[in-house]
Homo-oligomer: A and B are copies of this chain.
Amino acid sequence: MTATTRTRLTPEQRRAQLLDLGVQLLATRSLDELSIDLLAEEAGISRGLLYHYFGNKHAFHEAVVQRAADDLIAQTAPPVDGAPLERVHASITAYVDYVVANHEGYLSLVKGAAGGSESIRAIYERTRSDMGDRVFREHPEGDIVPDTPATRLVVRGWTAMTEELVLSWIAEPNGVSRDDLVAILVESLPALVGVTQVAPEA
């Protein structure tokens, strides 16, 4: 039944295996619905080994979330050239495609974030900020978004909206195409920034 021979991996391999498995398992369960027992069995290791690598359950969760976040950031980097709005377009497209393709990893990140502890929330916040900041950073020539407190706020909101929209679109596309979705998201940004200019500039 159970392979009685223990297999010995390098720390890097083992770590990677456990993190991957964690991302997968935490996409559908919450942390306390996932017992170390299950995780260990699924990975074909003893419970002790997980503690050896991550110290405790919470730290493991943190590592899983961090991994998902890194992945997301890496895979949705906007291109370095092109007009500002086109770069946003490319970035959003990559984002949508990423969430569609890596639904599991993304859910692990998002679910872990709100439910988790302070440190996990921090990872999530940082990730979100990184993605939002791109809008300010990535425009050496054309200025889509002036940097004011109000626009900072709005871009933050736009990020939240993007996340929500993509997730609920995946759940129920309702006849809206991927390109429709991307168009809505991309055009929302200048529309929202416009609001801060008609209204208060702080």
Contact = CB atoms under 8 A, between A and B. Distances in A.
Interface of A: 29-33, 110-117, 149-150, 152-154, 156-165, 168-169, 174-177, 179-181, 183-184, 187-188, 191-192, 194-196, 198-200, 202
B168 A156 contact: yes
B152 A174 contact: yes
A184 B31 contact: no
A117 B183 contact: no
Contacts of A29: 117
B153 A176 contact: yes
A106 to B, nearest CB: 13
Nearest to A160: B164
A164 B157 contact: yes
Nearest to A114: B114
A76 B199 CA distance: 23
Contact of A202 (B32, B114, B165, B176): B176
A158 B158 CA distance: 9
A153 B168 contact: yes
B202 A175 contact: yes
